[in-house]
Amino acid sequence: MSVSKFKKLATIATAAVSVSVLLTACQGKKSSSSTSTKTTKHSIALITDNNAIDDHSFNEAAWNGFKAFGKKHGLKQGKGGYQYFESSSAADFTPNANEAASSGFETIFGVGYQLTSAIKSAAKKNPKKNFVIIDDVISGQKNVASVTFESNQASYLAGIAAAYTTKTNHVGYIGGAKSATLELFEAGFKQGVEAGAKALGKKIKIDDQYIGNFTSTDKAKSIAQSMYASGADIIYHAAGNAGNGVFTEAKDINKNRKASKKVWVIGVDVDQSSLGSYTSKDGKKSNFVLTSVLKGLDVAVERIAEKAYQGKFPGGKHFVYTLEGNGVSVTKGNIDSKTWSKVQAARKQILNDKVKVAESVSDLK
């Protein structure tokens, strides 16, 4: 589903909370836990996709919002407080959501569009509970709030950075499971690369390929290996946990090259610069993460959690996060000063409606 139908950036007030207790692990699933004696009817739970909570990507970004919420208000992990339920496969999505509801959690977040059906189902089964779907829209259910991100805008900026950085005039894009949500990343990136190439008066080749899921790190590594071997010196991945394979391949290549000959990776969802540190063949400590395209998942989950605490859960509403207010953004990372100025100029053009960023690859044709 394209987010173009919904164009209002939401701002939600904050409020304090105090909670916690023990939650035992769900059968066949993994959850976080701790002990306490306090309870609250405003507890929150996070249902992951089929990657771990520490995936260096989507789940981790959302969980950072939970932890920030907890730290700010003196909360602890556990029943009555805030908690995550890891899903090992799609078969765990609905059971985990229902388990969170039956365990007493009042507001339950589903991370990623792959959980849409599970959240719909659990919300119908538990009408007195609050549910949130991240990266998709569920309409017609008053106990469900929806959050999406115009990731195409930030991806456009990453494309500008790639166009001004590439030395081979050849870049790549690797996606996870192809969907309308992932096309936002691809379309924005390609448009940004093309805009940068036009401004520089040159042509830049763009390779693109989808893995088919968000878990196959080996396949992502293999695709990256092929792209780099064919001449690409920058790869942007939007592949969740599978994207770790891209970093592995880049590191394998770079540690056998001089630092000045490095290949680059553009990260996604969270700042992935920590994955790019390495020592080059000539003994120099370096980093190959050019920039990371960020989604404000931490901000989104924290704001909705606090709104729920106020007794004003925004059920039935859809919140869209854009470049405005840094709902989506890119990190400075290892972008040089001249290129960074071009990125910031492009950002202003988007915010001033001078550039409309495509939402699908077909829009580029």
Contact indicator for 253, 233 with CB cutoff of 8 Å: no
pLDDT tier, 361 (very low <50, low <70, confident <90, very high otherwise):
very high
pLDDT tier, 192 (very low <50, low <70, confident <90, very high otherwise):
very high
Who's near 206: CB < 8 A, 6+ residues apart? 171, 172, 173, 190, 193, 194
pLDDT at residue number 71? 79
For residues 36 and 75, give the distance between their C-alpha atoms in angstroms, rounded to a whole number: 10
Of the listed ranges 57-66, 91-100, 142-151, the one predicted with least confidence:
57-66
**And the tokens for 187?**
């379309």
Closest alpha carbon to 345 in 199, 231, 129, 246? 199
Instruction: For residue 350, count other CB atoms closer than 10 A to its CB.
Output: 21
Is pLDDT of 5 > 60?
Answer: no
Indicate the pTM of the whole model.
0.86
pLDDT tens readout for residues 277-331: 999 999 999 999 999 999 999 989 999 998 988 889 999 999 999 999 899 999 9
Percent of the chain with pLDDT over 90: 78
pLDDT at residue number 40? 59
Equal CATH topology for 42-147 and 149-293+334-361:
yes
pLDDT tens readout for residues 199-209: 999 999 999 99
Map out the domains of the chain as residue ranges.
Answer: 42-147, 149-293+334-361
Tell me the average pLDDT of the chain. 88
In CATH, the number for domain 42-147 is 3.40.50.2300
pLDDT tens readout for residues 330-340: 999 999 999 99
pLDDT at residue number 29? 47
pLDDT tens readout for residues 132-163: 999 999 999 999 999 999 999 999 999 999 99
Residue 168 gets the label, from left (phi > 0), alpha (psi -120 to 50) or beta, of alpha
For residues 83 and 44, give the distance between their C-alpha atoms in angstroms, rounded to a whole number: 7
Contact indicator for 192, 180 with CB cutoff of 8 Å: no
Contact indicator for 162, 335 with CB cutoff of 8 Å: no
pLDDT tier, 41 (very low <50, low <70, confident <90, very high otherwise):
low
Task: Please state which of the four CATH numbers 3.30.70.3460, 2.102.10.10, 3.40.50.2300, 3.90.1150.10 is assigned to the domain occupying 149-293+334-361.
Answer: 3.40.50.2300
